[in-house]
Amino acid sequence: MPHDHVLLEVRSLVRLHVNVSFELHRGECITLQGASGSGKTLLLRAIADLDPSEGTVMLDGATRESMPAPVWRRQVTFVAAEPGWWGDTVREHFAAWEEARPLVEKLGLPTTCAEWDIQRLSTGERQRLGLVRALALHSRVLLLDEPTSGLDADATAAVEAMIAERTKAGTGVIWVTHNAEQARRVASRRLIIKDGRMTEEQT
């Protein structure tokens, strides 16, 4: 399924002990795997310009430095395994809840969850709502840090289907997972980080 069009180009990206280069094509999902502490989250955060790093990251040929960080992050969006929350209710975290509602329903949550208190959310509910928050931005690239780690099989399948829809529409996805079965299901290529370096395996 890889397309010719290089969407995201990463060249000699250095963050702490990690030093990697790779390309992500339009409409492609690649998984990022490696032992705990190998630098997977560090790498995603660096690509999203959330942490300082050296090297070159380009989106459609435009460098990270050529646009303000908030603009870059809306296009190259990091979805944390444990999303951050700043308001008291779910609705406060969405610019347009009406737009988010269909996505929320697809992921098996009631639309009344808009009024729920953040404190009452389970880990899995937080993960799904954090993902919806990111999907509502319609980013060019999604950087997913174990987006289904707290989910049961049904919710995991719903997330995988939703991300597949986005890749069909041209979104590029980098998906961190510890689950080899999931990697085979969702990705065309697997990138493995070990000792700060990256190798590639075809799935």
| Strand-pair partners of 193 | 198
Which structure tokens are listed for 189?
Answer: 């290529």
Q: In the predicted model, what is the mean pLDDT of the chain? A: 93
> What one-letter code names the amino acid at 25?
H
Residues 6+ apart with CB under 8 A from 74: 137, 139
198 closest CA partner among 15, 1, 73, 4: 15
**Under DSSP, is residue 85 helix (H, G, I), strand (E, B) or coil?**
coil
Residues 98/104, Cβ–Cβ less than 8 Å: no
**Which residue's entry shows tokens 């990138």?**
191
pLDDT at 2: 42
Average pLDDT over every residue of 170-176: 97
Query: What is 125-188 written as a DSSP string?
Result: HHHHHHHHHHHTTT-SEEEEESTTTT--HHHHHHHHHHHHHHHHTT-EEEEE-S-HHHHHHH-S
1, pLDDT greater than 70:
no
What is the structure's pLDDT at 201? Answer: 81
Helix axes 97-106, 153-168, angle to 10 degrees: 120
Task: Give pLDDT, residue 16.
Answer: 85
pTM exceeds cut of 0.85: yes
* Average pLDDT estimate for 133-150: 95
pLDDT for residue 22 is more than 70: yes
3-state secondary structure of 69: helix
**pLDDT one-digit tens code per residue, 113-131:** 999 999 999 999 999 999 9
Amino acid at 122: S
Model confidence at 170: pLDDT above 70 = yes
Nearest CA among 131, 148, 115 for reference residue 78: 131
Would you call 149 exposed, middle or buried from its count of C-beta atoms within 10 A (0-12, 13-18, 19+)? middle
| pLDDT number for residue 3 | 52
C-beta separation of 20 from 198 below 8 A: yes
Which tokens belong to 84? 């951050």
